[in-house]
Structure 1
């Protein structure tokens, strides 16, 4: 993990970042990366114990800590009231949010026409409405200050159909387009909104689709029976690969980039 900063400096020093889904996987990697690059991070997750463990691990690190603070907070992004309270508390303790990263997500697999109402509603409540809830609380204040960056971590499945992933893909597509529309509306206010679309990444969610601990060859070589492309780079992504892309888009180095969708999938989507 390139926690020291891809550009070799504390490019988020003095800034506040609010990250959802930060208890594990990509969200944890994003929170760690932004913190290592100088940000004060409010790391949230529906699993409060998981995100608290991340904070404890950072506090116990032998390395000299970066200048920012790292706060772990439990949060279900599907609950608009909880999001409102969490953002208000973060602003009261650390100051205005400069960077919002939406990572929280849940997965449901199965045939498209067999998804039950409860599963469909839950996937959209977290993956789509969760993004809406956080952006609604944070984007207007960013606009009022004339600056800010929002990055939504969606999925390559939002732009490439997947067998057995209709609910997940549709919810991520909704989050993607919402983020782009928000970016268009807020562009003149100095708020940039972008999307990172990971492909297969070594996370607990990805491993839940495997039969063992090793990367299935069908992930790397493709699966014609499921209309899935191979990964041209021949490797599955590490969460840090995605975190580095998020950090770039959130930084001033991407100051002229908004409403874009960056695929981090080893070339699998051919985009």
Structure 2
């Protein structure tokens, strides 16, 4: 019995080539979804899709830069024509540029927002235009627990994630009458290439768990980093029928790092 209501339905996942995006792809496939995997890294995306297809999974690659409005519209069109109506959208694509505010370049700021905020707008807009006439759909944006907590040397990332979070809630409010649910999953520190890029040595994980008073950053009460699967499980719940009465919600998956704020 398909209690999740996912089997046989089409899911579009951005940022699918690695990390949380890859975990979401795998989790949705395990529930029987037909997955359209989207990423700007065509080589890594094709490698993943080839591996999954060899396992008998129903997944297709759609290399796309989510910050390109025209390319996004063409990609969504192609998915609807080749796979079927998009029932689920999971916005995972994101980038991280770090540095103190006075040293951030225009390109750092613009590129961060182009992917982390504007890209979510482009993809969500293209998908919602097709969901509305069908009066059905579920959208989840993977944000960050940092969207509500200031972080040292992460201003562009934090601001872009805050924008993405509020955009998704507005999307949910505007489309609740069309039976379309829009929610956010906000991870804390997670074992992904993005997280590893912040570490100076092999003890980086323990340092994150312990916290840093100098950076005004609490540690993680549960004493562990999240895995991409932890985040994917939350995403799958929110797109599923088991969350059919949940919309405009921000589910924080951070081991208590932000103390439930």
**What secondary structure is seen at the aligned counterpart in 2 of 1:98?**
strand
Is the aligned partner of 1:141 residue 2:130? Answer: yes
Matched, 1:186 2:169: no
In the alignment, what sits opposite 2:151?
162
The alignment status of 1:112 with 2:79, answered yes or no, reads no
In 1, Cα distance between the equivalents of 2:2 and 2:89?
22
Q: Which runs of 5+ in 1 are unaligned?
A: 1-6
Matched, 1:14 2:8: yes
* 80, 85, 89: which one aligns with 1:91: 80
Structure 1 residue ranges, 4+ long, deviating more than 3 angstroms after superposition: 7-11, 213-216
SS of the aligned residue for 2:86 comes to: coil
Matched, 1:196 2:185: yes
Deviation for aligned residue 1:9: 6.6
**Cα distance in 2 for residues equivalent to 1:268 and 1:111:** 22
Q: Point out where structure 2 has 5 or more consecutive residues left out of the alignment.
A: none
Instruction: Report matched runs for 1:1-271 at 5 Å.
Output: 11-61=5-55, 65=56, 69-271=58-260
Aligned-residue offset at 1:96: 0.9
**Equivalent residues of 2:4, 2:242 under 8 A apart:** no
1:10 Cα shift?
6.6
Matches of 1:121 and 1:229 in 2, distance apart? Answer: 29
Question: Retained in 1: the 8 A contact 2:205–2:225?
Answer: no
Deviation of 1:35 after TM superposition, in Å, equals: 1.1
In structure 2, the CA distance between the partners of 1:213 and 1:49, relative to structure 1 (3 Å rule), is farther
In 1: Cα distance, 2:259 partner to 2:3 partner: 32
Instruction: Report the number of matched residues.
Output: 260
Q: Following TM superposition, by how much is the alpha carbon of 1:211 offset from its aligned partner in structure 2, in angstroms?
A: 1.7
Quick one: distance in 1 between partners of 2:118 and 2:27? 25
Q: Summarize deviations over 1:165-220 as a string: whole Å, max 9, x none.
A: 00000000000000000100000110000000000000001000112345432200
Cα distance in 2 for residues equivalent to 1:210 and 1:159? 22
